[in-house]
Amino acid sequence: MVFSLGADHAGFEQKNQLASFLIEQGYDVIDRGPETDDRVDYPDYAVRVARDVADGVADYGVLVCGTGIGMAMAADKVPGIRAANIITPEFAALCREHNNANIITLSGRFVDLETNKEILRTFIATEFGGGRHEQRVEKMMALDSE
Ligand code: RB5
């Protein structure tokens, strides 16, 4: 399984630590930056990760900014993306089970690293539920071409 990761200055530190965590778990990681904690604009990194996922270069994306909110808003502009801003393991499970999220966006400022690791573990371990959720996700994705 391949993960594409990106951040801004507020998520830089956790992005690096979460990349190591994923590699330790045996996953492949594409690090789309940034490479320093200099101030940057989150949409520039959200789009890199979103394109990796939309193009099938990566299976899932992980984006970290101060809150995760801007990253989700930016990534969701890219057709094919279902990015969810997650701050609890419970919501990590639900965004996979109900919404088939393909990018998770995390808070580097308000959620500690251990919680974000648990969130990521849950995100990875949870399959899309299908069934009644299938046509809802299809309707959502049809909006990409309107
Ligand atoms: C940067 O200060 C902050 O606005 C950004 O990291 C993020 O939280 C935006 O949603």
SS3 126: coil
42-52 pLDDT tens trace: 999 999 999 99
Q: Which two tokens stand for residue 49?
A: 């990760």
Residue ranges around ligand 1 (CB below 6 Å): 8, 10, 42, 65-67, 69-70
Q: Tell me the C-alpha distance between 28 and 102, whole Å.
A: 16
User: What pLDDT does 91 receive?
Assistant: 98
User: What pLDDT does 13 receive?
Assistant: 98
Ligand 1 atom, smallest distance to 70 CA: 10
Local confidence band at 6 (pLDDT 50, 70, 90 cut-offs): very high
51-65 pLDDT tens trace: 999 999 999 999 999
Which structural domains are found in the chain, ordered by start?
2-145 (3.40.1400.10)
User: What pLDDT does 44 receive?
Assistant: 99
User: What pLDDT does 21 receive?
Assistant: 98
CA of 41 to the centre of ligand 1 (A): 8
106-144 pLDDT tens trace: 999 999 999 999 999 999 999 999 999 999 999 999 999
Q: Tell me the C-alpha distance between 146 and 121, whole Å.
A: 34
Local confidence band at 102 (pLDDT 50, 70, 90 cut-offs): very high
User: What pLDDT does 100 receive?
Assistant: 98
Averaged pLDDT for residues 80-84: 98
Strands 2-7 and 60-65, by their bridges, are parallel
User: What pLDDT does 5 receive?
Assistant: 99
Ligand 1 atom, smallest distance to 69 CA: 10
Give yes or no for a contact between 12 and 36, defined as CB atoms under 8 angstroms apart: yes
Averaged pLDDT for residues 70-92: 98
User: What pLDDT does 113 receive?
Assistant: 98
The chain-wide mean pLDDT, for the chain, equals 98
